[in-house]
C-alpha cells in the first residue's frame, strides 16, 4: 500500500520536473498544477501510511517488559511527530497551490517540506542512541569491575578490555566511560 502511494508520487514528481523545464514563462506554470498536486497528494498519503504503519506495528509488538515498552513508546512518539509534521506540510502545500495556482504562495510549504523529510530521516537515525540508552540504562548507580593481576611481559591483562600502563589497570566499561584505579576492584 505504501508503494502504491510512493510510486505515483515519484512519477508525478518526475513529470512535474520534466514539464517545468519545458515551460518558458512563469505565467504558463498553471499547466503544472495538476502534476504537482497529484505528486504532493500521493506523497502526503505515503507519509501518513508510513507513520500509521510504524505506529501500528510498534504498538502491536509491545511486551510485558517495562523498558522495552518504554522504548517502543518513544519510537511511536518519534514516528507520530515526524510523519504527522511532513504530512501536514504536504497537505498545506496542496491547499495553498489549489487556492492560488498562478502565485507562489505554496513555495514556503514546499521548501519546508523538503527539509522536513531530511530532518525526519536524520531524527530517526539520531534517536537510535537515545532509545538504546533508555533501554539499557541501569537502575543502579554503582558498577563493580574486577581487577586482574598485571601482565608485565605483554602489556595486557588476561581480559583483553583491560590495558596496563605503569602498574595501573584501565578498564573500559563502555564506549563512553573510562575507569581507572590501582585497587583490586574498580568502582564506577
Confidence grade of residue 108 (pLDDT, cut at 50, 70, 90): confident
pLDDT digits (tens, 9 = 90+) for 53-89: 988 998 888 887 887 788 788 888 888 888 888 888 8
Provide the greatest CA pair distance for the chain. 82
Residues 88, 25 within the same domain: yes
Residues 20, 89 within the same domain: yes
Residues 110, 57 within the same domain: yes
Residues 116, 155 within the same domain: no
Q: What is the residue range of 117's domain?
A: 2-136
Residue where a domain terminates, one of 98, 115, 136: 136
Residues 122, 160 within the same domain: no
pLDDT of residue 116: 87
Residues 11, 53 within the same domain: yes
Confidence grade of residue 151 (pLDDT, cut at 50, 70, 90): low
DSSP string, 35-88: HHHHHHHHHHHHHHHHHHHHHHHHHHT--S-HHHHHHHHHHHHHHHHHHHHHHH
Return mean pLDDT, the chain. Answer: 74
Residues 183, 123 within the same domain: no
Residues 105, 51 within the same domain: yes
Residues 120, 44 within the same domain: yes
pLDDT of residue 150: 54
Q: CA quadruple 145, 149, 150, 154: dihedral positive or negative? A: negative
CB neighbours (10 Å) of residue 45? 20
Residues 131, 178 within the same domain: no
Tally of domains within the chain: 2
If we measure between CA atoms, which residue out of 160, 40, 132, 158 comes closest to residue 92?
A: 40
> Degrees (nearest 5) of the Cα angle 163, 169, 172?
60
- The overall pTM is greater than 0.85: no
Residues 31, 52 within the same domain: yes
Residues 132, 150 within the same domain: no
Q: How far apart are CA 79 and CA 53, in angstroms?
A: 9
Amino acid at each position: 500500500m505504501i508503494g502504491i502511494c510512493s510510486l505515483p508520487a515519484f512519477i508525478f514528481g518526475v513529470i512535474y520536473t520534466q514539464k517545468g523545464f519545458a515551460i518558458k514563462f512563469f505565467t504558463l506554470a498553471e499547466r503544472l498544477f495538476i502534476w504537482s498536486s497529484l505528486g504532493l497528494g500521493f506523497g502526503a498519503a505515503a507519509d501518513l501510511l508510513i507513520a500509521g504503519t510504524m505506529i501500528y506495528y510498534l504498538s502491536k509488538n509491545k511486551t510485558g517488559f517495562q523498558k522495552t515498552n518504554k522504548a517502543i513508546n518513544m519510537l511511536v512518539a518519534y514516528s507520530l511527530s515526524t510523519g504527522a509534521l511532513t504530512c501536514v506540510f504536504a497537505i498545506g502545500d496542496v491547499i495553498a497551490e489549489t487556492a492560488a495556482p498562478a502565485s507562489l504562495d505554496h513555495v514556503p510549504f514546499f521548501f519546508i517540506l523538503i527539509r522536513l523529510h531530511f530532518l525526519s530521516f536524520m531524527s530517526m537515525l539520531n534517536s537510535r542512541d537515545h532509545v538504546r540508552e533508555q533501554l539499557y540504562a541501569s537502575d543502579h548507580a554503582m558498577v563493580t569491575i574486577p581487577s586482574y593481576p598485571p601482565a608485565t611481559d605483554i602489556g595486557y591483562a588476561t581480559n583483553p578490555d583491560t590495558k596496563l600502563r605503569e602498574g595501573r589497570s584501565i578498564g573500559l566499561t563502555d564506549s563512553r566511560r573510562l575507569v581507572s584505579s590501582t585497587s583490586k576492584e574498580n568502582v564506577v
